[in-house]
Structure 1
């Protein structure tokens, strides 16, 4: 994980290097190993970078990264999984490399293809490229949006950064909360992009690139859009062939993520997703996989260390188990600072703790995150389909009956699940999917003071 930041002035005013450094150093936690800055001719464009060294630990791989004549300057957070294949082709076409990094591959690919090079990248990334010849800034974000990239603009400048907190270094930028974001936070647990908690700050959306001219003109386009085929166009295949196809793709994806010049490990909960990742890692790594899990004393509903232990024994990993007291209230301020605002997913607490503890052993970890979303692993996906079979009148009767039972103990209690399922069975499919994923839905407006709610525009709960 690295941190990038920068600014492009439209008003002709020079950018003090101290201003770029201030934005950059709000991201010190993202890149503790080294720093870099770049100011373009005339000081109208500035780039800042904080590095966490992973591939090619030498200064040659530092950023901002430039091409041979200095006309292309790049800062980049992430990892390009197909960079070795791309590099071979670039060398064959005459490009010269001074590092082994994936970063330099992007620079030379941009020389050949301009903004169209982004579509050739397989990876997770947030990229900023300053083209001195055309006097243009390119911003790009990976297809799934794994790496964050925010920007704010006024009539005088545009600034961008890996995290919103960098913009607080800009004294002439008013960081004003956006009241319209509040209902969406209560529904989703976060503010869906491109909006943020701040009026003048936006996220660059996943699969999108933006080109900003020196005079402030912006052009944004999607370089990738997920497309699902029609069911009628999908050729049926036997289950064993489908399973083999998933297995082959998973193995290839895991192997491509193991390129690292620093210690690497995995978070292991003992669930299906992280166990599959660890199992595949153990097949291709020469040394035992370093695995990490965390458990909370006194609350077995949130303790999965026993399952993690079983998986660690099965794959003969070098396993480290952390046990902590569930005093998550102590972390609220820290987590809000890291997330640049409230974040409604309680998994942020164990993720932060296990990340902090694992950092003493490894620099990079693989996880099973995203598996439940891709393969419909959450029970709510199953519930959304099953609820179609429940008559509305039966759902109303069941909900009324359950409301008379004792109060729930916690969100994983069976009573909580049953009540939410029956509420969802009364909704349309689209409403049901949102309700089952939402923190608040029908009761969301009860959280808002009437005078505050009156100032808001229409709320799209879907």
Structure 2
């Protein structure tokens, strides 16, 4: 894992070397092992890099990396998990390698296939590649958006970085408010891609590539998670199809059930195997949940001694949120090298300033990833696996049942949206005094998956936004953000109810909150976090099984050779939570305004949104 930065003066001028190196070095935590810098002789383009050494730890892995004749140079953040097979193919075509890195594979693959190389990559990545022969800069970001990639186009120069904060000080970069970013934060609790808080800085969207030359910058999509889900199968019938659990004549079809489970096991083993590739130890964040437990069980089938880390909190002792007893049982069962780290209120108080400083964009989440990453790094790990993604793929959230049920009920009411809008305007003040304001919008927004998802995941409801932001800013931001239209685009062409929710959760909550928070919170401690359940190849193999056979997390948890404890399969989902607000409020009257999740959101906004 690394930090990248680049500048390309596509319309004349020269790179500001000092500013670019400052942008690079403000991301030192992303790459503490080494730094690199290259600029062209005419100073129209420059690439900068901070390195966290994971594969080929030698100097041969230093970046920016060039090909043999210097016509191609690349800076790269991430991991290409299929780089070894790609390298074998390239060597068969005559390409000669000077290192054992996946970075060099990018150079040779680009030389072979040009900008179409993205279709061959399996992994998490964001890279910038300078093509001297075509006088252009090529950028790409992985299909799930696991790795961040931000750009600022001044009209004369294109600046690139792994973090928003690295671009803020670049000359000519607009830092006035992007209304959509501010509205999006209060709507969701995070700033949704491609927006940031700043009008001059935006994210390269997941599964997109950007080419910049003398004619300017042009972005195109090369992969779509919703598109992949749309191709994954027909709707389920009554939860499970007849081929999984019961045959059409009422008898259990054991052979078909075994075939499905075997395919699921092969797919999960495959992704875990690819995510274990490294030249340093790979650990795992272990909770008492099915996702990390399954990964731990599968990983121990392939490695001699897996290192695992669990967080414990005094506030959760004796409660179902306490992950420690279950995690320690799992560690003993699978004979992992386990460490439980207890975090206290004072630990958070001491880390408070660093936590906020590390947060690249405001978010109501991330504390869990911050502390478990710190624990893993203090345990000597550079790489850790996370169970993130299992809920989105296998339906672990309440949204998978709640949204279809809501849409079915409200959608059957003639004129529900129009009627609901009028009722909401009248009833909202009363409803908000009694219960969640979301209930006031059930009829207005409950007619389709887009509105249902907004109700499920929204932090503030649309009609509440003028209470927390300037009304003119809200109007401009809502018009630019177009949340309902974008949510509807997310489910276009997906017939299967489960996969519609998978598309929404993966493209919004997981991408913009969970993955982004995992990235900045782990990078604050120079730790690379890998997500085997967020994998393009796995999605292509498992989504059709989920659509046709109604697979659940229980099916996922039954694939290891050494099964998970039966009582774990029935354990209520607790999520991976941290008592942050309790810590803030305890004996700290100055944080009284942070009471509740919305108060916490406003506290974070005041701390981070200094535009």
- 2:180 corresponds in structure 1 to 180
- 1:96 corresponds in structure 2 to 96
- 1:274 corresponds in structure 2 to 292
- Contact preservation (8 Å) 2:173, 2:201: no
- Across the two proteins, how many residue pairs are aligned to each other? 443
Question: Helix, strand or coil: the match of 2:175?
Answer: coil
Say if 1:98 and 1:450 are closer, same or farther in 2 by CA, change over 3 A: closer
- Contact preservation (8 Å) 1:31, 1:51: yes
Say if 1:253 and 1:424 are closer, same or farther in 2 by CA, change over 3 A: farther
- 2:460 corresponds in structure 1 to 440
Q: After TM superposition, give the deviation of residue 447 of structure 1 in Å.
A: 2.6
Say if 1:148 and 1:247 are closer, same or farther in 2 by CA, change over 3 A: same
Question: Helix, strand or coil: the match of 2:42?
Answer: helix
Which whole-Å deviations, capped at 9, do the CAs of 1:239-293 have from their partners, x for residues lacking one? 5233322221111000011111112100011101111111111110022x11011
TM-score by length of 1: 0.88
- 1:261 corresponds in structure 2 to 279
**Whole-Å separation in 2 of the counterparts to 1:273 and 1:425:** 35
Say if 1:70 and 1:376 are closer, same or farther in 2 by CA, change over 3 A: same
**Whole-Å separation in 2 of the counterparts to 1:454 and 1:64:** 43
- Contact preservation (8 Å) 1:383, 1:421: no
Name the structure with the higher strand share.
1
Q: After TM superposition, give the deviation of residue 67 of structure 1 in Å.
A: 0.6
Q: Which is worse superposed, 96-105 or 429-438?
A: 429-438
Question: Helix, strand or coil: the match of 2:168?
Answer: helix
Q: Which is worse superposed, 425-434 or 446-455?
A: 446-455
**Whole-Å separation in 2 of the counterparts to 1:449 and 1:16:** 36
Say if 1:262 and 1:132 are closer, same or farther in 2 by CA, change over 3 A: same
Structure with more contact order per residue of length (Cα contacts < 8 Å, sep ≥ 6): 2
- Contact preservation (8 Å) 2:10, 2:212: no
Q: Does 1:221 align with 2:215?
A: no
**Whole-Å separation in 2 of the counterparts to 1:329 and 1:185:** 25
- 1:379 corresponds in structure 2 to 398
**Whole-Å separation in 2 of the counterparts to 1:122 and 1:456:** 35
Structure 2, unaligned runs of 5 or more? 246-256, 414-422, 485-611
- 1:367 corresponds in structure 2 to 386
Question: Helix, strand or coil: the match of 2:185?
Answer: helix
Question: Helix, strand or coil: the match of 1:36?
Answer: strand
Q: Does 1:310 align with 2:329?
A: yes
Which whole-Å deviations, capped at 9, do the CAs of 1:353-390 have from their partners, x for residues lacking one? 11012102211000101111111111232222344576
Q: Does 1:337 align with 2:354?
A: no
- Contact preservation (8 Å) 1:441, 1:461: no
Q: After TM superposition, give the deviation of residue 94 of structure 1 in Å.
A: 1.2
Question: Helix, strand or coil: the match of 1:247?
Answer: helix
Name the structure with the higher helix share.
2
Root-mean-square deviation over aligned CA pairs: 2.9
Say if 1:122 and 1:456 are closer, same or farther in 2 by CA, change over 3 A: closer
Say if 1:257 and 1:12 are closer, same or farther in 2 by CA, change over 3 A: same
**Whole-Å separation in 2 of the counterparts to 1:444 and 1:376:** 30
Q: After TM superposition, give the deviation of residue 297 of structure 1 in Å.
A: 1.4
Structure 1, unaligned runs of 5 or more? 408-414
Which whole-Å deviations, capped at 9, do the CAs of 1:380-405 have from their partners, x for residues lacking one? 32222344576899xx9xxx9xx99x
Q: After TM superposition, give the deviation of residue 331 of structure 1 in Å.
A: 4.7
Q: Which is worse superposed, 96-105 or 180-189?
A: 180-189
Q: Which is worse superposed, 104-113 or 18-27?
A: 18-27
- Contact preservation (8 Å) 1:384, 1:424: no
- Listed as ranges, the matches of 1:47-126 within 5 Å are 47-126=47-126
**Whole-Å separation in 1 of the counterparts to 2:443 and 2:383:** 42
Q: After TM superposition, give the deviation of residue 423 of structure 1 in Å.
A: 6.6
Q: Does 1:294 align with 2:311?
A: yes
**Whole-Å separation in 1 of the counterparts to 2:7 and 2:173:** 12
**Whole-Å separation in 2 of the counterparts to 1:58 and 1:437:** 45
Q: After TM superposition, give the deviation of residue 11 of structure 1 in Å.
A: 4.0
- Listed as ranges, the matches of 1:406-425 within 5 Å are 424=442
Q: After TM superposition, give the deviation of residue 445 of structure 1 in Å.
A: 3.8
- 1:410 corresponds in structure 2 to none
Q: Does 1:12 align with 2:9?
A: no
Q: Does 1:251 align with 2:251?
A: no
Question: Helix, strand or coil: the match of 2:28?
Answer: coil
Q: After TM superposition, give the deviation of residue 155 of structure 1 in Å.
A: 2.0
- Listed as ranges, the matches of 1:133-144 within 5 Å are 133-144=133-144
Say if 1:216 and 1:169 are closer, same or farther in 2 by CA, change over 3 A: farther
- Contact preservation (8 Å) 2:178, 2:477: no
- Contact preservation (8 Å) 1:209, 1:223: yes
Q: After TM superposition, give the deviation of residue 231 of structure 1 in Å.
A: 4.9
Q: Which is worse superposed, 51-60 or 222-231?
A: 222-231
Which whole-Å deviations, capped at 9, do the CAs of 1:5-51 have from their partners, x for residues lacking one? 00001343222433321111111010000111110131100000000
Question: Helix, strand or coil: the match of 1:283?
Answer: coil
Say if 1:270 and 1:179 are closer, same or farther in 2 by CA, change over 3 A: same
